[in-house]
Amino acid sequence: MEEHLQFSPNLSDYQKSPFDFEDQTIFAIKGWVKYRNLDYFIENVDILIDEGSVTKTTTDDEGHFLKTLQIGEHTLTPSYYDHTFMPKDTAIFVTSADSNIIFEDTTTYVLSGKVGGGQGGTPHGRFCTNCGGHVQPNWKACPNCGNML
């Protein structure tokens, strides 16, 4: 069954209408932003509507967003610091309420560092606060960068 919007008065009743119609119908658009492959949702993600030219909304503490939009084509784009999302954005044509929009944060980081330890929890040496290089407890300067300790 196909749905159509109807206007009153019926324009076919007039040769030339003195009326200027503008459709003000709005629908609720909702969705979520989550980390990829995890069931953790992200709060405070901005959802830009039409590249932010129209408006934006922000996810709540459960990663949920809700926005009412007028009928027509809109683009939703998640934005959160330097994170990347899948999909990068999504184009929707609003003709009814939509609640199946999900963005996944695909950002990953590589962590690297050194772990030190020793007998009884006493570390064998320490690390330079300037370059991160390993230094012995009795050294006065870092051999890597010359930073005074």
Query: Domain locations in the chain?
Result: 23-105, 114-149
Given 2.60.40.10, 3.40.1280.10, 1.10.10.10, 3.30.930.10, which CATH number is that of 23-105?
A: 2.60.40.10
Q: Which two tokens stand for residue 31?
A: 């969705």
pTM equals 0.60
pLDDT digits (tens, 9 = 90+) for 24-61: 788 899 999 999 988 899 999 999 999 877 688 999 99
Confidence (pLDDT) at 41? 95
CB atoms within 10 A of CB 63: 20
Quote the pLDDT of residue 62. 95
pLDDT at 2 over 50: no
| pLDDT tens, residue by residue, 60-102 | 999 999 999 888 899 999 999 999 999 999 999 988 887 789 9
State the pLDDT at residue 143: 78
DSSP string over 90-137:
EEEEESS-EEEEEEEE-------------GGG--SSEE-TTT--EE-T
